[in-house]
Homo-oligomer: A and B are copies of this chain.
């Protein structure tokens, strides 16, 4: 089965690939060979492992976004500076590839003040905007490193990154709280904890150890602690981003479960929220990026 082109989302910890015909997915695959687990001279091999069966005699376009474009990645794709369109420049050609592929990497975005960077989200934003001409507003992309992005007149105006997902993983898996944070989820506990931090962000530091103490003294259920920890951290993110979401047109691009959690939190604050699937946005954005490479070819 040959593909017309190949879409690649290559993050820090995962590699996902799709065999594409136009905007249609005809096959897909993934591995855990994220950017952080691959040496510089092993990128092509890690990719070919997944896409070998999709290649034919003619060279196939491979369009990749994400951390693969970092300095330690396959090829460095220098950041574009905001304000700018989410994909303002032609993706960077990877030199000296296997003859069966022509590989490109989409550059990320940078912001000078306050300093911030993104790699991968710009492609999702481009894909989101592709089907929504004249969309102005704020996009939240929750995840390991959540992004909040102000979009106006087709440009990314400003953005901020939050380590909310990484903090949750560190605290629930590698701190003293790991003994008290279980599996499962309690919606009411999440909403209460989120609202508490949102209204009293200065109390965040005082709340965290309370999850351990409530377990030791009251045998609090691990599912409540899990939802509270998530609520405290997302509440802190929403406290910091209040100017981004208050009274703004708002979209969330993310995986289903996490998007719903953020949407729930924002709706309790009266925010109107549209959600979009992150994979669909990534593929739409990579298609746009591919078209850029063909205009200049």
Contact B205 A240 (CB under 8 A): yes
Known: A115-B210, A161-B213, A213-B115. A205 touches B175 (CB 8 A): no
Q: Which residues on B sit within 8 Å (CB–CB) of A237?
A: 205
Q: Which residues on B sit within 8 Å (CB–CB) of A145?
A: 176, 209
Task: Tell me how far the C-beta of A80 lies from the nearest C-beta in chain B, rounded to whole angstroms.
Answer: 13
Q: Which residues on B sit within 8 Å (CB–CB) of A116?
A: 209-210, 213
A203 adjacent to chain B (CB < 8 Å): yes
Interface of A, helix, strand, loop or mixed by DSSP: helix
Q: Which residues on B sit within 8 Å (CB–CB) of A236?
A: 202, 204-205
Contact B241 A206 (CB under 8 A): yes
Copies of this chain in its oligomeric complex: 2
Chain A residues within 8 Å of chain B by Cβ, number? 44
CA distance A170 to B174 in the complex (A): 8
Kindly supply a per-residue 1/0 record for chain A positions 90-112, scoring 1 wherever the CB is within 8 Å of any chain B CB and 0 otherwise: 00000000000000000000111
Give the B-binding residues of A (Cβ under 8 A): 79, 110-112, 114-117, 145, 160-164, 166-167, 170-171, 174-177, 201-206, 208-210, 212-214, 216-218, 233, 236-237, 239-242
Pick 19 A–B contacts, CB within 8 A, sort by A: A110-B213, A112-B217, A117-B217, A160-B206, A162-B206, A163-B176, A163-B177, A164-B205, A166-B175, A170-B170, A170-B174, A170-B175, A174-B174, A201-B201, A201-B204, A202-B239, A202-B240, A203-B240, A204-B236
